[in-house]
Structure 1
């Protein structure tokens, strides 16, 4: 048992891999998507939202047929991944695409918040329980020679109960550090070594190993939470920015604004200031290209195409056709529909 604890003290080298069925998506994410906020959150030209996450994967699942290596190594990838990664800690890169509600930014915000809730509501209570139980066991074992076998049996049962109360089953967890942490805690609660002798030194070492892993995991949770908070705020900003642009253009296209201009109110009269009005419309078209996420980017591009047709007809002095076809109303309707449909991040 002491050898296992000593091995547990040595930090494992992290190895980063990607599933082969995600390689094409990773290349697309890397080369064809623009940053929304930092390197983890991007959007493509159509407004699809993609974000990357890292997940610890069991080393026995990392095979050359299923994974590609992202970490640098002097060894050939196939031979490296074919070996048992006994001293390594593999992490898998995953590219996630928001698909609910046709990939809307509102669905993206909710997806990120769900990940935050998972970390905060499940992981932190688990780590808090582990560290609290370790402290209790240290107190119990202060006068180790006075601890009875009955007390040790009760301690093991209480540890199992505490783990169950926070949904922490060491047989089901994916993260190796959590599995080891729980197993050390259970083993230490019994107060005995691998040959069933009461051994205070070994038990203290096991508790220290479990505590070290709990501290490391808490730090990891903090880093994960910080990343998802940044992603959420990036999506919230992008949503607010997109809606503000569409609302501004919509107001400009209102019945008392652009459609009421002399050029369109009296299409049969001689034109005046066509260049100025065309410039205003082209500015609106450019504004509508600035949203980068769904559903606002597709709606902005669609409304911009209608305004482009207005500009072309205006330059040809076919103003009557603009009025007859109600092109300003068409563009405004596109913007109104998307703004109204997605007015709430959390639909009732």
Structure 2
């Protein structure tokens, strides 16, 4: 009888949900930088600081081809150095970090895969040999930038971006890689999961922030109001809060953004579809996020996608995501100052 009673008590305890997580730190207010092709002017980040942003994310790229198991970055192939943009190389990453630090900005280093002929979101292989070949190359890439991050005293290291299928398929590789990263980088860690797969990531207990690239669908309307967009956040907020409570970790939006187009909140992750310009719709989406998500107690802040360092307008002409010189920039400035 006693053993049955203890079993029932144990089941009741195991069914209890974790209490809501309370993030007590200062919320991160940042932008994801677009790597410039050449070293920019020393004042290239002054507008970021003037807007009230305290953080920048710096994104070094490595490259692979769909169907091939090799991974390339500028430290394992000299050929890549001939054509890769300055801001994507280790030298450019270090230069950008130092430039940000000189202007009093905090930094997140956020490695990213560029897959030629396919999407990095669906990276996978059919044989163990292919997996191991890719994992060897990829670990060298991540660890190289983890060492660089530690040497430069980078404030936050994002171990990679949106390799969710890889993360779910090969959890032992990632857990071992995180241990290796922690041996060479002593700061906090996150991972940038895609908005529709973050609940599946198996290694959140090993990191400091639950990172989400937050392109959640909010409304199918051409130009939804702020209140309509805020209502669209409700189911997503519930799921995010549950994940935060489950792991007792804060949620960080490693990316958030909207195009300055009609239907901007319908499928925010799509960047190649037709765009009828609508800067007001973009500004409304930013306003709804700041009003609805930012105050959540489990929320640690986020990084807007995306911000160009180049002073030449031609480098950002036609870009739809950037809030620069649009009403969305004014929304961020008002919310962050």
TM range (shorter): under 0.3
Instruction: Name the structure with the higher helix share.
Output: 1
The higher-RCO structure (CA 8 Å, 6+ apart) is: 2
Greater share of residues in strand: 2
Which has the higher Rg, Structure 1 or Structure 2?
1
* TM-score normalised per structure 2: 0.20
Using the size of structure 1 for normalisation, the TM-score is 0.20
